[in-house]
Amino acid sequence: MTSTRITVKGERPYDVVVGTGVLAELPGLFGEGVRTVAVVHPAGLPEIARPVCGVLRSAGYTVVELPVPDGEHAKSVEVAAELWSAFGRYGVTRSDAVVGVGGGATTDLAGFAAATWLRGVEVVQMPTTLLGMVDAAVGGKTGINTAEGKNLVGAFHPPAGVLCDLATLVSVPRDDYVAGLAEIIKGGFIADPTILLLVEDDPEGARLPEGRHTRALIERKIQIKADVVGADLRESGLREILNYGHTLAHAIERVESYHIRHGEAVSIGMVYAAELSRLAGHAGVDLVERTRSILTSVGLPTAYRREAWPELRDHMRVDKKNRGAKRRFVILDDVAKVTRLEDPPEELLEAAYHEVAR
């Protein structure tokens, strides 16, 4: 099957290459002059880095393998500092490059390390999970977590390219794959109703890497991300729509100490955002019902613990969309009709959570 190239426009345009068995296209994503490539990958998954390193060595690059902790545990200042030290030891210069291979946490970390080393070296992202392909690795947002919240330390650093080899999805654990669907479904609600129709047409197939709509769903979600970040890299306006459902989701992740999958938290967060849209008088009950129906049909959660509200409320006060003391929420008037809710009253926020709580 041929590859698809989706261009992310802006001040530093780059391509997202999507296809099956497209690893050979990796060297073509680097700029001129690259000699050393640092490959950052999860320590528990050396097999995903092995073919990447092989292709790079065959193309004449000096390859440095840098394993990091799996999942969100990689996104800490301590791990970032270890990468900076390794870059120094192995002589990674400003004309060299970093490749992030793995899930969204790995590509976030690799991008942040590249953005901050020598004030910015080239990075190519190779997401190997559904979530990484449709969200984390595309868009140039990099970051690490702190005790105060998720992705609060980071930089905007567009990659030189992104390579999505769909063949890697076959080995992704089913629960992880299903969690990645939340970001695709979010794309349907904020921008592309066809995504929702494809999932509703075949929810069981949507749960499979081999589903008949899988490639279309992935490419459509990447195109949404490309269109949005190409117009607004630094989240000064339009890009905020990508945070639909994320205000509560990030708070849930903090409460769970990141032991919940990002997509599962986003799924719950979308139900909360839909309920908030309804209670604020922006959307009808049909939006809420369709949100719950689609998420449930693919096996994603739609509820969370009632007693967690005080802690969740406190964490939401540190959300990146907030301006000063004012809280901001991305909500919907309807499917693909996004708006913002500025500083809603506490009673409204709690009432919306009451609809989500078990």
**262 flagged as catalytic:** yes
- Identify the active-site residue in 122, 235, 253, 264: 235
- Identify the active-site residue in 239, 278, 292, 327: 239
Residue 74 annotated as binding site: yes
For the beta sheet containing 161-165, the strands, ordered from the edge strand earlier in sequence to the opposite edge, are 4-8, 14-19, 161-165, 122-127, 97-102, 36-42, 62-68
- Identify the active-site residue in 89, 119, 259, 323: 119
**141 flagged as catalytic:** yes
Residue 337 annotated as binding site: no
Residue 108 annotated as binding site: yes
- Identify the active-site residue in 225, 278, 315, 328: 225
Q: At what angle do helices 193-201 and 214-231 cross, to 10 degrees?
A: 160
Residue 96 annotated as binding site: no
- Identify the active-site residue in 41, 145, 183, 253: 183
Residue 221 annotated as binding site: no
Residue 129 annotated as binding site: yes
Residue 154 annotated as binding site: no
Residue 213 annotated as binding site: no
Long-range contacts, stretch 208-215, CB < 8 angstroms, 24+ apart: 208/177, 209/130, 209/166, 209/169, 209/170, 209/172, 209/177, 210/170, 214/166, 215/18, 215/166
Residue 291 annotated as binding site: no
**225 flagged as catalytic:** yes
Residue 9 annotated as binding site: no
List, in sequence order, every residue forming a beta bridge with 97; answer none if it has no partner: 37, 122
Instruction: Note the Cα 91 to chain centre separation in Å.
Output: 30
**328 flagged as catalytic:** no
- Identify the active-site residue in 41, 213, 220, 250: 250
- Identify the active-site residue in 41, 122, 141, 278: 141
**119 flagged as catalytic:** yes
- Identify the active-site residue in 213, 262, 278, 292: 262
Residue 150 annotated as binding site: yes
- Identify the active-site residue in 157, 213, 243, 253: 243
Tokens of 264: 């599962």
Amino acid occupying residue 157: H
Residue 320 annotated as binding site: no
Instruction: Name, in order, each residue with C-beta under 8 angstroms of 123's C-beta and a sequence gap of 6 or more.
Output: 97, 98, 99, 100, 110, 111, 114, 115, 157, 159, 160
**183 flagged as catalytic:** yes
Whether residue 276 contacts residue 287, with contact meaning beta carbons closer than 8 Å, is answered with no
Query: Residue positions in the annotated binding site?
Result: 70-75, 104-108, 128-129, 141, 150, 183, 246, 262
Query: Residue positions in the annotated binding site for Zn(2+)?
Result: 183, 246, 262
Query: Residue positions in the annotated binding site for NAD(+)?
Result: 70-75, 104-108, 128-129, 141, 150
Residues carrying an active site annotation? 119, 141, 183, 225, 235, 239, 243, 246, 250, 262
